[in-house]
Amino acid sequence: MDSVGTKSDPQALDRKTGLVRELNRADGIALVVGTVIGSGIFLVPGPIAAHLRSLSAVLLVWIVGGLLSLFGALSLGELGSIYPGAGGLYVYLRHAFGRLPAFLYGWGLLSMIQSGSIATLAVGFSLYLSRLFPLTVAGQKITAIACILLLTGVNCLGVRLGKLVQNVSTVSKLAGLALLFVLLLWRGHVHLLQASFPPTMPTSHSLLPFGAALVAVLWAYEGWHVVSFTASEFRSAKRDLPQSLFLGTAIVAAIYVLMNIAYYSVLTPLAIRGTDHAAATAIQVAYGMGTTVLISILILTSILGSMNGMVLTGPRVYYAMARDGIFFRCLGQTSQRFHTPILAILVQGVWASLLTLTGNFQQLFTYVIFTAWIFYGLTVAAVIVLRIRKPELERSFRVPAYPWLPLLFILAAIGISLSTILNDPIHACFGIAMILTGVPVYLFFRVFPRPTMKDGQ
């Protein structure tokens, strides 16, 4: 599926897919930054400080996490330059490893990974909103569902409206983070940074807490890949997709490092270790109780942008699966008026809304989310596989320092997966089993295949 637009027709309708080439590099960066930065940077510094006792180690783990995410982003940039079509990781997995692994990724995405992320963010949104406006338990559930359905409706009405919401929320989020950074540094103390910076004496077990902290950090970087799902809607995917992946991930890494510096300029390492709400605690210490409402508003804005990014991007995977003839055909159709895969968007929105009503979905989501890293590792491995099998493919972008950067990312993905399996084998196996429920579904579509969708359908 060729999705490269032209300068003379920037919003051209791709006759092969029915999608509109509406996105540019700035939109792609907003998708990466806005989707990745949810609530993590406001909440996880405390648990990370519990593992790492010095600011130098904390900054190092955030930098390492950022570099690993950049290695993954660069790898996807090469894959996206080869296959600039809708579906992203699903498409790359299909070309490198076949239809079954690709289908299982898409199945896991719809059944829990993407839909569960949307539901989790919506529940978080309602919880933080209840701090500003008291809500009953029922009111929180209604708010969560309303938020999902609102963003679902917005993204059904065209990628232009969806990207507008994304761009506005991302700019607002960055402005809020910049204000928070300045406010904390204004009341911060250099001596606190100096006192907390020196590394503690290394021990034979020092790698264990660093590894545990790195896992938490990599979860905070989760979402950098979703922009690849929308490659078919870029005006020039072969150029803009790799740049969006790299620049967006680099911006997120820089923000994470700077915000940690701001927290440690106000709070001692002991104080940060003692809180699960580092941003709220820091602003409260610096300016008093009344300012914590600012953090709640900032987190609400941040969650909203992250949700919209998830709602916008995920359906492009189910759409690509349907067009390949291995999923329900209706999900591969686009609206003639809005040029969006409306049914795919609606299915994801309704399922995510239903997940918010189940009491144990967040536990199930925790079980299955680690499996995403198995697919991330496989996808980055696809760079190496395709370099060997299909060296003749045109690559407008190539991973620098090949094969070392992909290999480092693959090792990190293996480490995260093995760490989860070793630390919680029962729940890890349960998560894998949930993904494998897609096997009979895949076999059904293989036994009763749907025709692939041709140009103009």
Least Cα distance to 372 among 83, 123, 75, 72 occurs for 72
Domain positions in the chain are 25-447
3-state SS of 75-111 is: HHHHHHHHCCCCCCHHHHHHHHHCHHHHHHHHHHHHH
What's the pLDDT at 73?
95
Six-digit token pair at 121? 């963010």
What's the pLDDT at 2?
33
Please give the single-letter amino acid code of residue 145: I
What's the pLDDT at 423?
79
pLDDT tens column, 87-132 = 999 999 999 999 999 999 999 999 989 998 999 999 989 989 998 8
Q: How many degrees, rounded to 5, is the angle at CA 120 between CA 116 and CA 123? A: 140
Interatomic CA distance for residues 260 and 268, integer angstroms: 12
The ranges of the chain with pLDDT < 70 are 1-17, 200-206, 359-362, 450-457
Query: DSSP per residue over 156-215, as a string?
Result: HT-HHHHHHHHHHHHHHHHHHHHHHHHHHHHH--HHHHHHH-SPPPP-TTTHHHHHHHHH
Interatomic CA distance for residues 85 and 337, integer angstroms: 21
Interatomic CA distance for residues 237 and 216, integer angstroms: 31
What's the pLDDT at 13?
59
What's the pLDDT at 248?
96
CB 307 within 8 A of CB 33: no
What's the pLDDT at 4?
35
What's the pLDDT at 211?
82
Candidate CATH numbers 3.40.50.10860, 1.20.1740.10, 1.10.357.10, 1.10.645.10; the one for domain 25-447 = 1.20.1740.10
Torsion angles phi and psi, residue 6, rounded to 5: -125, 155
pLDDT tens column, 354-391 = 999 886 666 777 777 888 999 999 999 999 999 999 99
Least Cα distance to 272 among 213, 206, 207 occurs for 213
Interatomic CA distance for residues 456 and 336, integer angstroms: 11
Instruction: Calculate the dihedral angle through the C-alpha atoms of 162, 352, 113, 344, rounding to the nearest 10 degrees.
Output: -60
Output the CA torsion sign for 334, 335, 339, 344: negative
